[in-house]
Chains A and B, each alone.
Chain A
Amino acid sequence: MNVIEINGLTKHYGKARGIEDVTFSVKEGEIFGFIGPNGAGKSTTIRTLLSLIYPTGGSATILGMDMIKDAPEIKKQVGYLPSEVFYYDNMKVIDLLNYSASFYKKDCSSRIKELAERLDLDLNKKIEDLSFGNKKKVGIVQGLLHSPKLIILDEPTSGLDPLMQQTFFDLLKEENEKGVTILFSSHILSEVQKLCDRVAIIKDGKIVKVEKISTLRENNYKKFHIETKTPADQEMFNFEGIKDLEMEGNSIRFLFKGDLNPIMGRIAELDIGNVWIEEPDLEEIFMHYYEKEDQGREHV
C-alpha cells in the first residue's frame, strides 16, 4: 500500500515556478528520501501535501485520503518537522508540547517525557531562551509525541550536533521498525544515504529520478585506485566502461561501470602494490544525474 501517492502535483506562485508535475509514491513502512538543492521545490511539495498551500494542478493522497478534502483527518496520523522551527516564544517547552498533544485527544505525557529524556531537552525552559538546536529538539518531540503513522521531515537535522543527529536517526529507525513511514527531505545526501530505502531527486521543481538507493549505486561507476610496483602501460586500460583515466607514475585512477570480472582480470595482470575500489557516494551519484539531465536538455 502506498502511504503517499502524488500525481502530477504542480504549484506556481503567480508566474514564478514552484513545482511542476511532481509524481512519486511512498510505500508503507518505507523511509523515502527526497533530495535536491535548496530552492528545488522540496518544501513546496511538502507544504502542498500538508495543505499549507494549495496546488495549481495535480493531486495527492495520504493514507488513502485526499490531501485537501481530508486534511484534518490526515493530520491526525502525520508528524511534521519543518526545516525552520518557530514556536510561541512566551511559552514553556512543556506547555507547548502539552498544547501540541491537546490536538490529538490522547495522553501523550509519558511519550513526551521519554522523548525529552532521549534528546536531553529541558521541559521547563521558555521557548525564547532555547538555542536553535534545542528548538529543533522541541520540534522533534512535537512531531513524534502522538505516535504518527507517517512522519514528514523537511531538512530536519540542521542545528543538531552530530551526536544528537545520531540519536535522532536512531529514533527514526525505531519508529520505522514499528511500521511508521517516513518522508525525509534533505539536501545533505550522506544522511539520506544512511537512512533511506528509496529516493526521489528533484531539480528546478521537477522530479529527475525516483530510484532505490542500492540501484542508484549499482548503476553507477565504481572508483578504482591502483598503485603498481612498476609503471603500467596505458593501453591496458583502453577498455569499455572506463572513464576519467588518470595515470601518474605508479598511480592509476579511473571510474568504471560494467561487468567487474574482465577488469579484475586485467588488474590481476599488473604488478600490484595496493588497490582501492570505492562506491561513489550519493553526492557523486546526485551530480551524475544532474549532469545527465542538463546534457539531455542541451541536446534538445
Chain B
Amino acid sequence: MNIFLQELKAYRKSLTIWIIGVLVMVFSGMSKYAGMEGAGQSLNELMNNMPGVLKAMLGIQSLDVSSPLGFYGVLFTYLVIMLTVHAVMIGSTILSKEERDKTAEFLMTKPVTRPFIITSKLFAAAVQVTILTIVSFVSSLAAVYYFAGEGEFFREILIFSLGLWMLQVLFLTIGSGIAAMKKNPKKAPALSAAILLFTFFISIMADMTENLQPLKYITPFQYVTADMVINGNGIDGIYIFLTCILVSVFIWVTYDRYRKRDLYV
C-alpha cells in the first residue's frame, strides 16, 4: 500500500495537468460544434469532398459531423490519442523511473518482492488512467448535453468511454512491458511512444485503403471506432477479446522480465 500511495503522491501534479488538458480538449472541442451547428448539410458536403487520406488522418471517415455525436466522434479520436499517450508514458515511466533516477537501489533493498513493487505501481498507474477516463466521460457528457441542447447521448458516450478505458489499459501494459524488457531505463518511454505512433499510423493506413483492412487487428486504434459506436454496434467482441489477450500477455511480460532481470544500478 505504501508504494501505491507514494506513486499517487508523486504523480499528483502531472495528473492535475492531464485533467486540465482533458477538460480543455473536451469543452473547447465541443464549443466548436456550437459554432458549426446549423451548417448541417453543407458541412457534410464539405467533408465528403475532402480527400480520403485527410479524412482518415483527421479521424472523420464517414461520420456525420453535423450531428452532436458525429462531431463528438471526431473529438473522441483526439481524446484517444491524448489519453493513450498518457497511458503508455505512465506505464513505461512508473517502472523505469526508479532506474532512470537511480532510486532503484533505495526501493529494491526494502523488504518487498519485485512482483509486489510491480503490482503497487501498476495499480497506481491504473487508478490514474481510470481517473482520466472518468474525467473524460463526465466532461464529455456535460459538454455534449450543453452544446447539443437536446437529445439522448448517455449510452453512446458511456460506450466511447469504456472503449477509451480499454485502450488506455492496453497501452499502459504495453508501456510497462517495454519498461520491464528494456535494460536502459531512458529508452523505454521513447520506444513506447514510437510504438504508439506506429500503431496510429497503421490505423490511418487501414482507414485509407480497403485492402489494408486486416491491419485493423494489429492496431488498437481500430478497436473502438466512432462510427461503430454511433451506429449502435458498440465495440466488436473480437476486439474486446484481443485486448484481454494482449493485456494479459503484456502484464505477464512485465512481471516475468522485471522479476528476472538485473537492475540498471
Q: Which residues of A contact B (CB under 8 A)?
A: 47, 50-54, 71-76, 78, 80, 82, 84, 86-90, 99-100, 102-104, 142
CB pair A103 B2 closer than 8 Å: yes
Residues of A contacting B28 in the complex (Cβ-Cβ under 8 angstroms): none
Residues of A contacting B105 in the complex (Cβ-Cβ under 8 angstroms): 52, 80, 82, 86
Bound complex: CA A172 to CA B143 (Å): 64
Chain B residue total in the interface (Cβ 8 A)? 19
CB pair A80 B109 closer than 8 Å: yes
Bound complex: CA A76 to CA B108 (Å): 12
Query: Measured between C-beta atoms, what is the minimum distance from B110 to chain A in Å?
Result: 4
Residues of A contacting B102 in the complex (Cβ-Cβ under 8 angstroms): 84, 86
CB pair B113 A72 closer than 8 Å: yes
Mark B12-26 against chain A: 1 for CB-CB distance below 8 A, else 0: 000000000000000
Additional A-B contact list (10), CB under 8 Å, known A51-B108, A52-B108, A84-B102: A52-B109, A52-B263, A72-B111, A80-B109, A82-B105, A86-B101, A86-B106, A87-B106, A90-B10, A99-B2
Q: At the interface, yes or no: B209 with Cβ under 8 Å from chain A? A: no
Nearest-CB residue, chain A, relative to B1? A102
Nearest-CB residue, chain A, relative to B262? A53
Residues of B contacting A103 in the complex (Cβ-Cβ under 8 angstroms): 2, 110-112
CB pair B109 A86 closer than 8 Å: no
CB pair A76 B262 closer than 8 Å: no
Residues of B contacting A72 in the complex (Cβ-Cβ under 8 angstroms): 111-113
A88-B103, A99-B2 known; A52+B111 contact, CB < 8 A: no
Would you list the 7 A-B pairs with minimal beta carbon distance, nearest first?
A: A86-B102, A53-B262, A75-B111, A103-B110, A102-B2, A76-B111, A80-B109
Chain B residues 35 to 49 lying within 8 A of chain A, measured CB to CB, are: none
Q: At the interface, yes or no: B265 with Cβ under 8 Å from chain A? A: yes
Mark B79-107 against chain A: 1 for CB-CB distance below 8 A, else 0: 00000000000000000000001111110
CB pair A53 B265 closer than 8 Å: yes
Residues of B contacting A100 in the complex (Cβ-Cβ under 8 angstroms): 106, 110
Nearest-CB residue, chain B, relative to A51? B108
Q: At the interface, yes or no: B184 with Cβ under 8 Å from chain A? A: no
Residues of A contacting B233 in the complex (Cβ-Cβ under 8 angstroms): none
Residues of A contacting B265 in the complex (Cβ-Cβ under 8 angstroms): 47, 52-53
Nearest-CB residue, chain A, relative to B113? A72
Bound complex: CA A103 to CA B112 (Å): 8
Q: At the interface, yes or no: B213 with Cβ under 8 Å from chain A? A: no
